[in-house]
Amino acid sequence: MAKKLFIAFCLAAPLAFAVARETFRPPSVMISGAFMIAGVVLSVCVFGWSVWNLFYHRRRALLGLASLLVCFCYFVVLSDYFASHAYRQRQNEGTNAGDHRR
């Protein structure tokens, strides 16, 4: 049972990041953020479980660490998406503020 749950967590963590990447559109940025937070929480769980299994079940621990590598790559890409979105919002607010003063 624990092995199946661990594999499910190892698959669910990158999947949450993948769904967050696919749903990242201006109207659903909050939904994408929720999936990203879920991915981070699952990644932390997988990391802790992988460290716990490192001495007893090496294959399982390596699977978890490989899953974390994929999660890290998704996290870097999504962080860039969110940063560029915030930059565009700040830029638009600055542009709109200047238009109202005229």
Q: Does 20 map to a domain?
A: yes
State how far the Cα of 78 lies from the Cα of 81, in Å rounded to an integer. 5
Instruction: Write out pLDDT tens, residues 14-62.
Output: 999 888 888 887 778 888 889 989 999 999 999 999 999 888 888 989 9
3-state secondary structure of 71: helix
Quick one: tokens of 43? 């990644």
Instruction: Write out pLDDT tens, residues 52-75.
Output: 988 888 898 999 999 999 999 989
Q: Does 24 map to a domain?
A: yes
Q: Number of structural domains, the chain?
A: 1
Q: Does 62 map to a domain?
A: yes
Q: Does 102 map to a domain?
A: no
Q: Which pTM does this prediction carry?
A: 0.79
Structural domain span for residue 6: 2-83
Q: Does 35 map to a domain?
A: yes
How does residue 98 score in pLDDT terms, banded at 50, 70 and 90?
Answer: low
State how far the Cα of 46 lies from the Cα of 64, in Å rounded to an integer. 6
